């Protein structure tokens, strides 16, 4: 396999570098974040920068771009403290991608996704999503190197298709229809290779699922 | 689709909650981080908590668990400032998973992966990997909520299979053989659904790749 060696990353053309660095970081979690402003207008936006921070308490981290222009989702979360996370399925990945356009109105109507309110939680869910959660703001850290914001949130309630939820808590995301993305604009479905046993020195791995 | 509603996350059994929360955060980037200690012993460890932080400068973020026990990779990066990121292919995903066992010796030999040094960079690469990069420490933030460390690093040089590198810098990770993971132990290959055009209000999306 012939490998291209790319150095001097700072000197690359802007768009080339953006595609390159965004795709180098690999396959990503991609979700729709639902929020609401203080006047009651809903907002829906696609994010691929969500990671697991801890299980106990159940914390996630979301990286937001610098708040130098209006960032509806970030402002709403800072103001109201509540939002939802909705996994994307292939059935509505184009509607999900379309939420990245700059709308003045709610992206739910503009992009053709249905707003849903569950268990008196104040922020809107995506009705079409099968895997979703309510979450609340905990804190945030400014990344001084480039002004991005790493926001910590706590998961409140999860909604998971019964057929995708294992006895040990593992979620079979393929069964639930969740997809993944690379770079800024490319979507992929997945096929399980295997689930592996816990690794210990000198012990042969087993395929457990 | 019948959805299970799971609340009271704090009261779930520990292992169940760990699987649940780790799989809720979706498909993840999964890579081997290569590092070296001050005595010259190499270290290789699997990580699924890497995200894109910025393209200019080219920054990534890695979340490390709390440094309450020996964390070889984190210590090595803090001490020597250099490490490598190596995407995992299906050909060696079991060897990659095995690096999560606690070894006293170098995981390269113990797990059957070949150490490689490129362009005088001081940290080891994985020879079997097709997509890889050298990176240097920039800074780190302690997440006070649970003691995890969010480390910022700058990409130095990338190595990308020529056939996977697009004219606009996009990396076709499937062509390069990169895989993804969910939860703590499950690996998946992917199939591209589509690459979509840049979204603008009122403009129909196009499939561009």
A-proximal residues of B, 155-194, CB under 8 Å: 155-163, 165-166, 168-171, 173-174, 178-180, 182-183, 185-194
What pLDDT shows up at residue B201? 96
Q: What is the pLDDT of residue A26?
A: 98
Confidence of residue A71 (pLDDT cuts 50, 70, 90): confident
- Our CA dihedral for A145, A148, A131, A23, rounded to 10 degrees, sits at -60
Nearest neighbour of B17 by CB, restricted to A21, A55, A183: A55
Please answer yes or no on whether B152 and A145 come within 8 Å at the CB atom: yes
Quick one: CA torsion of A63, B11, A158, A101, rounded to 10 degrees?
Answer: -20
Residues of chain A found within 8 Å of residue B164, distances taken between Cβ atoms: none
Work out the percent of chain B whose per-residue pLDDT is above 90: 97
H runs (alpha helix) in chain A: 14-24, 72-80, 93-98, 107-111, 173-176
Residue A1 has pLDDT above 90, yes or no: no
Which range has the worst mean pLDDT, A25-29, A150-154, B71-75? B71-75
Nearest to A87 by CA among A53, A50, A122: A50
- Residue A12 touches chain B, beta carbons under 8 Å: yes
What are the tens digits of pLDDT across the range A49-66?
Answer: 999 999 999 999 999 999
Per-residue pLDDT tens digits for B183-200: 999 999 999 999 999 999
Residue A163 has pLDDT above 80, yes or no: yes
CA dihedral B90, B95, B97, B98 (to 10 degrees): 170
Say if residues A133 and B23 touch (Cβ distance below 8 Å): no
CB A74 within 8 A of CB A151: yes
> Residue written as tokens 């992009």?
A111
Would you place residue B29 in the very low, low, confident or very high pLDDT band (cuts 50, 70, 90)?
very high
pLDDT tens column, B47-96: 999 999 999 999 999 999 998 777 799 999 999 999 999 999 999 999 99
Q: State the pLDDT confidence band at A198, using cuts at 50, 70 and 90.
A: very high
Question: Which residues lie below 8 Å from residue A43, measured CB to CB, with a gap of 6+?
Answer: A34, A35, A36, A37, A72, A73, A76, A106, A107
CA distance B50 to B60: 7
Residues in chain A: 209
Q: Which percentage of chain A shows pLDDT scores above 70?
A: 100
Residue-averaged pLDDT of chain B = 97
DSSP string, chain B: --EEEE--GGGS-HHHHHHHHHHHT-SEE-EEEEEE-TTS-EEEEEE--EEEEEETTEEEEEEE--TTS--HHHHHHHHH-EEEEEE-BGGGHHHHHHTTS--SS-HHHHHT--EE--TT-SSPEETT-SSEEEEEEEEEEEETTTTEEEEEEEEEEEEEEGGGB-TTS-B-HHHHTB-EEETTTEEEEEEEEEEBPPP-TT----B--
Dist. CA A26–CA A61, nearest whole Å? 17
Which of B93, B133, B165 has its CB closest to that of A193? B93
Predicted local distance difference test score (pLDDT) of residue B71: 75
Query: Pick from A87, A152, A196: which is nearest to B26 by CB?
Result: A87
How many angstroms separate the CA atoms of A202 and B193, rounded?
40
Q: Which residue, among A90, A63, A72, has the nearest Cα to A34 in the 3D structure? A: A72
Portion of chain A with pLDDT greater than 90, in percent: 97
Q: CA-CA distance, B5 to B13, in Å (whole number)? A: 16
Report chain A's mean pLDDT, rounded to a whole number.
97
Tokens of B17: 């909650």
Residue A67 has pLDDT above 90, yes or no: no
Q: What is the pLDDT of residue A69?
A: 73
> Residues B9, A169: contact at Cβ < 8 Å?
no
pLDDT in tens, A109-122: 999 999 999 999 99
Q: Which residues of A touch B61 (CB under 8 A)?
A: 63, 143, 150
How do residues B149-176 score in pLDDT, each as one tens digit?
999 999 999 999 999 999 999 999 999 9
B79 Cβ under 8 Å from any chain A Cβ: no
pLDDT, tens digit, 9 for 90 and up, residues A139-148: 999 999 999 9
The pLDDT of residue B68:
78
Chain B contact for A36, CB < 8 A? no
A201 in contact with B, Cβ within 8 Å: yes
pTM reported for the whole predicted model: 0.97
Q: How confident is the model at residue B204 (pLDDT cuts 50, 70, 90)?
A: very high
């Amino acid at each position: 396999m012939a490998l291209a060696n790319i150095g001097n990353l700072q000197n690359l053309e802007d768009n080339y570098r953006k595609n390159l660095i965004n795709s180098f970081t690999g396959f990503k979690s991609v979700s729709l974040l639902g929020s609401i402003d203080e006047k009651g207008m809903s907002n829906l936006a696609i994010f691929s920068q969500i990671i697991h921070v801890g299980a106990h308490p159940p914390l996630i981290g979301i990286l937001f771009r610098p708040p130098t222009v209006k960032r509806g989702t970030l402002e709403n979360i800072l103001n109201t403290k509540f939002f939802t996370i909705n996994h994307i399925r292939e059935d509505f990945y184009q509607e999900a991608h379309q939420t990245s356009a700059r709308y003045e109105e709610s992206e739910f109507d503009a992009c053709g996704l249905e707003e849903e309110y569950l268990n008196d939680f104040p922020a809107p869910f995506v009705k079409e999503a099968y895997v979703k959660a309510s979450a609340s703001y905990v804190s945030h850290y400014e990344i001084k190197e480039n002004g991005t914001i790493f926001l910590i949130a706590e998961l409140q309630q999860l909604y998971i298709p019964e057929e995708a939820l294992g006895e040990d808590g593992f979620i079979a995301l393929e069964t639930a229809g969740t997809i993944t993305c690379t770079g800024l604009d490319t979507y992929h479905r997945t096929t399980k290779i295997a689930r592996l046993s816990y690794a210990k020195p000198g012990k042969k791995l087993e395929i457990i699922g």
